[in-house]
Chain A
């Protein structure tokens, strides 16, 4: 059973002077449980808008959308941590909102997630005391506290330096391989999309179609995959598809 099923999905923005701007139209897509799907396209093509519609933060202007996931969780382009809350308290925030009270068990769970993100030594630090990569890992830990079955990530690594970005890509991929979650990831980086995804959906140049590419890479992926010929070939294929379908 598909986690997300969308037919003829479209989004139109109305400007102040009643001018309409079509972001995309006639999009058909289906997301299956436990797959890692990446929405790939140039900047400003509507990737984030589509992700927000899939996650329920925005409404589509046209088409139908069925969402069957139990609990979805967003990771945004910026970490969006509350500056006055500690690393641990930021992780507990979604539970505070859902349940009003936070139990001792919740604290234990939050600490485990911080450990998973290698932030266990920083649980009492405030966001201003963390590096960019640490903040993003903090945001990732927060997104996992509610046991989501669907994770929506909107270019979460775009503002990070390359070393941190590559490290976090491996962490995200590890999560995907070890946990029963579905990932929908937005990026404009072809390499990032290839390394992470089981399926890539490329925005066509006239924004009325999502062009699908299924990954030929193995399911178990390590850092060393980036140096393998198979990865280069995959990137080449997707780049060709991107250049012919999305740009020209």
Chain B
């Protein structure tokens, strides 16, 4: 609580300034609704928000979970074979450099309207940070410790399990933290083109000029991102309580 009170204070301040700007008429409410108006829209259609939130949460978790598993597995594969790394890493970089809004229409063609496209979008956006960070982590280990293990005749597998993977954990968790936020963005972009979830709600509210609903959905999506990032940080802290794989200042 001690650590989060400055951001809570800032949040209250922003709400107050925001309220003042709208109530004084500096910006018309059809462009920027007052905070009260945004929170009112929740009570106006709670079920729609709950369903949209649930749908985006499901797709985000699905995309994030798969990108974590796939990203780390690919990093393991690439770190064990320079050939595979050189052959396939450029494709991963391709997905990173092409904006997801450009790929999303293609996903609709491939997977159709619905959850599959949203999940694929969340996966594509969030996999690269996991892959890139894990790859860096797996190759950045203490050469002295590797020499020690070699002096006892350790196999490649033992070096991977006893040194490379534990040493990579700080980088892996940094990647997961970034991926958690990106998975939400990926899911929302997917929903813009494939429908459903908070993205779909934002899109339909936009056509009805309901800026308050757009803001409410944006608020929920940021809650989702913060929650997921917090979950990763919590997992890192749990691991740290078990064993000092990395400095506690990192997370």
Query: Does A93 have its Cβ within 8 Å of any Cβ on chain B?
Result: yes
Cross-interface CB contact of A82 among B150, B152, B162, cutoff 8 Å: B162
Q: Could you say which residues of chain B place their CB within 8 Å of the CB of A85? A: 243
| Pairs of residues from A and B, 8 with the lowest C-beta to C-beta distance, nearest first | A84-B243, A97-B152, A94-B152, A80-B148, A74-B151, A97-B154, A84-B245, A80-B144
Count contacts on B: residues with CB < 8 A to the other chain. Answer: 18
Interface size class of A (residues with CB under 8 A): 10 to 19
Query: Which residues of the partner chain A approach B162 to less than 8 Å between Cβ atoms?
Result: 82, 93, 96-97
Residue-by-residue, is A195-236 near B (CB-CB < 8 Å gives 1, otherwise 0)? Answer: 000000000000000000000000000000000000000000
Q: A82-B166, A83-B244, A126-B244 are in contact. Are A98 and B144 (CB under 8 A)?
A: no
Question: Would you mind naming 29 contact pairs between A and B with Cβ atoms under 8 Å apart?
Answer: A57-B150, A57-B151, A74-B151, A76-B144, A76-B147, A76-B148, A78-B144, A80-B142, A80-B144, A80-B145, A80-B147, A80-B148, A82-B145, A82-B162, A82-B163, A82-B166, A84-B166, A85-B243, A93-B152, A93-B162, A94-B152, A96-B162, A97-B149, A97-B152, A97-B154, A97-B162, A98-B153, A128-B244, A146-B152
Contacts of B245 in A (CB 8 A): 83-84
Closest to B148 in A: A80
Measured CA separation A117–B153 after assembly (Å): 25
User: A96-122: which residues lie under 8 A (CB-CB) from chain B?
Assistant: 96-98
> How many pairs of residues, A versus B, come closer than 8 Å at their CB atoms?
43
A residues with a Cβ closer than 8 A to B are 55, 57, 73-74, 76, 78, 80, 82-85, 93-94, 96-98, 126, 128, 146
Interface string of B63-96 (1 = CB under 8 A from A): 0000000000000000000000000000000000
| The one of A73, A84, A97, A126 that contacts B158, using a Cβ cutoff of 8 Å | A97
Docked complex Cα distance between A247 and B150 (Å): 34
How many Å lie between the Cα of A105 and that of B178 in the bound state? Answer: 45
Known A94-B152, A97-B154, A98-B153; further 7 A-B contacts with Cβ < 8 A: A57-B147, A74-B148, A78-B144, A84-B243, A84-B245, A97-B149, A97-B158
Which B residues are closer than 8 A to A by beta carbons? 142, 144-145, 147-154, 158, 162-163, 166, 243-245
CB distance from A51 to the nearest CB of B (A): 11
CA distance A100 to B149 in the complex (A): 13
Q: In the assembled complex, which residues on chain A have CB atoms less than 8 Å from the CB atom of B144?
A: 76, 78, 80
Residues of A within 8 A of B158 (CB): 97
User: Which of B149, B152, B162, B163 counts the most chain A CB atoms within 10 A?
Assistant: B152
Kindly list chain B residues whose C-beta atoms are within 8 Å of the C-beta of A128.
244
In the complex, the chain B residue whose C-beta lies closest to that of A94 is: B152
- Distance in angstroms between the alpha carbons of A201 and B244 in the assembled complex: 42
Q: Which residue of A lies closest to B147 (CB)?
A: A57
**In the complex, residue of chain A having the shortest beta-carbon distance to the beta carbon of B151:** A74
What is the minimal beta-carbon distance from B192 to any residue of chain A, in angstroms?
A: 43
Q: Please, which residue of chain B has its CB at the minimum distance from the CB of A85?
A: B243
Q: In whole angstroms, how far apart are the Cα atoms of A74 and B149 in the complex?
A: 10
Chain A contacts for B148, CB-based, 8 A = 74, 76, 80
**Which single residue of chain B is at the shortest CB-CB distance from A58?**
B147
Name the distance in Å between B231's Cβ and chain A's nearest Cβ: 22
Measured CA separation A97–B159 after assembly (Å) = 9
Bound CA span A83–B244, Å? 7
Residue in B closest to A152 when the chains form the complex, CB atoms: B151
* Complex CA–CA separation, A80 to B151 (angstroms): 12
Which A residue sits closest to B240, measured CB to CB? A84
Residues of B within 8 A of A80 (CB): 142, 144-145, 147-148
> In the complex, how many angstroms separate the beta carbon of A202 from the nearest chain B beta carbon?
26
**Which residues of chain B have C-beta atoms less than 8 A from A82's C-beta?**
145, 162-163, 166
- Chain B residue nearest to A77 (CB atoms) is B144
Interface centre among A57, A84, A93, A98 (most CB of B within 10 A): A84
**Residues on the A chain within 8 Å of B145, using CB:** 80, 82
Q: What is the CA–CA distance of A85 and B161 in the complex, to the nearest angstrom?
A: 13
| CB nearest to B247 among chain A residues | A128
